[in-house]
Amino acid sequence: MSFNYILIPADDTKPIQSLSASKDGGLSNDALSNYAKDYFYTLSGGANRAKILNEATDEEKKQLAQSIRNQYANTPSAESLNKMGDDALLELIKTSESSGTCEITCLTVPTPLNEQKGVSMYGDDNARNRNYPFNHRATALMKACGHTFPQGSSNEDGKPNGIYGDVFVGRCHDDEVKDIWERVDFTPDEVEGDLSQKEWIRIALKKGGGGGHGGSAASLSNTLSNIGKSNNGANLGTGALATEPGENQGDGFSWSQTDEEVEIKIKVAKNIKAKHVKVKFGKKSLKVTSAGQTLIDGETWAEFSIDDSTFTIQDDEESGGRELCITLGKKEMETWNYAVVRS
């Protein structure tokens, strides 16, 4: 019994590869996780560094230990490193170099809506610091699954926030109630082309679909940081994801919310009047057309009250055109994580 998973190279000129491995190891000895650790360990030169440490002379070990202390002189670790003897410090470094590790990040968590099938990404947990190339396709995939990416201190090195280095992506069937954990296939066609049209991503972005819905991606080891908001030209079409209180940007519109309502704003041409606009309110859907052009057509985060929903159109001094304002009356006083996602 085997399963398929993929490798997304950081080099955009290289194709996404399909790989296969045995299911026999189960969760405790997962073939994908093991292969990823070995892959990143070999790529980073960990084995060579461990060998250098083992073969170093006493004088070389002393120099190596001092070099490490100098490297961390202006960090919170400096005091503890200075108190540590040379042999203890080098043994700590040797231990860290003796085996491979990887960052495992949940793109989607198993839920009933996705038939308890989660998708995870495996990358080098120190790829950014090792100056590996920015991975545009992996970064776009993270955002397509509904994850926002932290900014601020994570990009003090001047690099764009995002995924760095090669990554592996695989799927598992994980149902605790039925006591099932099994690898299932994940293939290149599921991440190639227009991500917004991939069925598993469309499901992920629905309420209870397992995607990020505006939250940071959950890491199975350490919190995944250094991820960027840029989609680098990818056609994500994920709708409006709520990243923080206040106004949020969507696919051609902005939106905000209170406890009672959601307000969506769309910029339209100066000659557009109310008679040119058609808004179709559904229990959990919204379709908006202007002069025959579809502006929004998709599923809302939750059901809303049609009777308490309306729209207006007004002049927009900032753009010199007009602005269409749509108000959806909430049925429940809950926070929406997105306004509308393409259906």
Q: What is the mean pLDDT of residues 23-30?
A: 92
pLDDT tier at 95, thresholds 50, 70, 90: low
pLDDT band at 157 (very low <50, low <70, confident <90, very high): low
Residue 253 confidence (pLDDT) above 90: no
Domain with CATH 2.60.40.790 in the chain: 248-342
Mean pLDDT computed over 127-153: 81
Averaged over 65-89, what is the pLDDT? 80
> What was the pLDDT predicted at 18?
97
Distance, C-alpha 272 to centroid of its chain:
38
State the fold for domain 248-342.
Immunoglobulin-like (2.60.40)
Each residue's pLDDT tens digit, 122-135: 998 888 888 899 99
Comparing 92-96, 204-208, 248-252, which segment has the lowest mean pLDDT? 248-252
Q: How far apart are CA 176 and CA 179, in angstroms?
A: 5
Report the 3 state secondary structure along the chain: CEEEEEEECCCCCCCCEEEEEECCCCCCCCHHHHHHHHHHHHHHCHHHHHHHHHHCCHHHHHHHHHHHHHHCCCCCCHHHHHHCCHHHHHHHHHHHHCCCCCEEEEEECCCCCCCCEEEEEEECCCCCCCCCCECHHHHHHHHHCCCECCCCHHHCCCCCCCCECCEEEEEEEEECCCCEEEEECCCHHHCCCCHHHCHHHHHHCCCCCCCCCCCECEECCCCCCCCCCCCCCCCCCCCCECCCCCCEECCCCEEEECCCEEEEEEEECCCCCHHHEEEEECCCEEEEEECCEEEEEEEECCCEEEEEEEEEEEEECCCCEEEEEEEEEECCCCCCCECEEEC
Are the C-beta atoms of 21 and 110 separated by less than 8 Å? no
For the ranges 25-29, 65-69, 247-251, the maximum mean pLDDT occurs at 25-29
Query: Facing residues of 128 across strands?
Result: none
Per-range mean pLDDT, top range of 107-111, 205-209, 229-233: 107-111
Indicate the pTM of the whole model: 0.57
State the average pLDDT for the chain.
80
185 band by pLDDT with thresholds 50, 70 and 90: very high
**Is residue 218 predicted with pLDDT exceeding 50?**
no
User: In this predicted structure, which of 39-48, 171-180, 228-237 has the lowest mean pLDDT?
Assistant: 228-237
Q: What is the per-residue pLDDT for 117? A: 94
Q: What is the pLDDT of residue 239?
A: 34
